[in-house]
Structure formats: structure tokens, C-alpha cells
Amino acid sequence: MNAQGHSDADSKDSGRNILRSVIIWTLVIILVALGWYVATKRPYTAGDDIGYNLGLVGGSMMLLLLVYSLRKRAGFMKNTGPVRRYFAFHMFLGVTGPILVLFHSTFKIGALNSRIALYSMLLVAGSGLVGRFVYRHIHQGLYGRETTLAEAEQQLSESAESVQSILSIAPGIETKLEDFREYSVEKLEGAPERSWRFMTLRMRGHSLAREVRKEAWHALEQAAQKSNWQQDELASQKKLASERIYGYVEAVCSAATYATWVRLFALWHVVHVPFLYLLIITGIIHVIATNFMY
């Protein structure tokens, strides 16, 4: 694909990301406004028809979270569709269910069994958000397949090749990028040092990318003066240089941190699954206590 093709694809991706962000933030604002109204005006209670049905639907959604686990582990569900679709459904339930339960409670903490069920739900929802953050670092997209270490290294190799054209006009950039790559894979003895590098690598990489981009742009401006480039050509070359520099830095970070993200995801899974079962148990106890003991 040529530079123009890359530019068009990136523009479309950028447009979709902006539209997605606008939709998400609009929904967040609406939900916050509705939550404030329900919490302050109390248009219904947890026990009347509206509150009860919100809790019923939200609780049912939380129970259906187990379907994803069944699809992954139960042999009789192997031919019922791709796992990624079940995961997308799992994510939808994990967001929508807790929201409905919160509206069911009118954002008010009630009896002991209600508190335990609510805290368990918030624990699972919070754990799910953490898991989503970790998940996206080792998968291709939110619902995509898992990226392998070999693929991460291949992406780094391709990014290194694409950035060569930038190095030819600004040779000083190569040393800085190579130093960053060596730092990303350097063997560090202490756990605190390794943890600090893991947590700060992308921030350091983005800072380097901004610095290197300025040098590349300066070199391009000098080349434009010598070759009498048009302004649109110079702007296009600057954009392409930025994309390749940031792409290379991101590829270095992804390859260097991949193994750590995989370990974190495995540890998260060990914690998240018991939380989910705790939620199911406390939810059932809450339903029994609410409907049969009062």
C-alpha cells in the first residue's frame, strides 16, 4: 500500500474512533444525568415494579456472564459460534448488567444482603474493566484473536524497515531509536527496576517520538527548500514521518512488554473468576432474602 493508501486508511480509522468516542461519552453523560435524577428524586423504589424489573433484568444479565465460561470450557458448546462473539456478549452484559442493578438500587445501600450483593457486583465490574485494559494489549482489537510474541516481533521488524526512509534524511535519529530499543530489552536484575521500566516504557517512548519527530520535520523542511516541494507534499511527508516514528516506537513497546501483559492477564483471570462466582452466590442469596424472607 502506498503512502496515500495508508493516509486514507488512517483517516477512516481516525474518523471511526472519533465517532465511537462521541457516542460513548454521550451515553456516559446521559447515564450520569439519569443516575443523578434517580438518586435525588427517587421516582421509584427498589421494590416497586420499575425497580424490581430493573433488578431482575440486571441480575439475569449478570447470571448470563457464565455463558462465556461455558463456551470456553464445555465440550457441548464448541460448535455454537466463535469465542470472540461470546466474549463481546460477555463484555456487553458485564457493563449493562451492573448499570441496571445500580438503577434498581436507586443508588442507595439497603440491608446487609443488599450491600453484600452490591459490593460483589462492583468488585466484578471493576475487575472486568481491569481485565479489558490488560486484554487489549495482547489481542488484535477488543474482540480479536490473541497476538503471539512472534507476531509482535514481526510487527517490530516491519516498523523498523518502514522507518529507514526517515533515518536516511536525519541520521541522528537512528542512534536515539536504537538506544530506546536496546533499553526496552535490556536485562535488569531487580524486580523494582523491571516494574518501573514496564510502567514507564510507553511514556518514555512517546516522549522520544515527539523529540525525534521534531528532528525529522526539520530535516524535511530543509529538503523541501532544496527540492522546491509544494506545501501539500511537505505536509504529506511530515505526516508519513510521524506515523512511521510513532509506529516504530509503539512496536518496540509492544514487543518488549508482551510477555509481561500475558502473565498479568493470567493472574487477573485467577482473581476474576472467583469474584464472578461470588457475585452469583450473593445475587441468589439477595433474591431469596428479598422475595421469601420479608
pLDDT of 8 reads: 52
Query: With a cut of 50, which residues of the chain have pLDDT below it?
Result: 1-7, 9, 142-143
Closest CA to 100 of 57, 65, 129: 57
Rounded Cα distance between 45 and 115, Å, is 16
pLDDT of 166 reads: 66
- Cβ neighbours of residue 140 under 8 Å, at least 6 residues apart? 146, 147
Q: What topology does CATH give the domain 149-257? A: Topoisomerase I; Chain A, domain 4 (1.10.132)
Average pLDDT of the chain? Answer: 82
Question: What pLDDT digit, counting tens, does each position of 57-99 carry?
Answer: 998 998 888 888 888 888 888 888 888 888 888 888 888 988 9
Residue spans per domain, the chain: 15-145+269-292, 149-257
Phi, psi (rounded to 5 degrees) for 139: -130, 155
pTM of the model: 0.70
Closest CA to 212 of 239, 164, 160, 172: 172
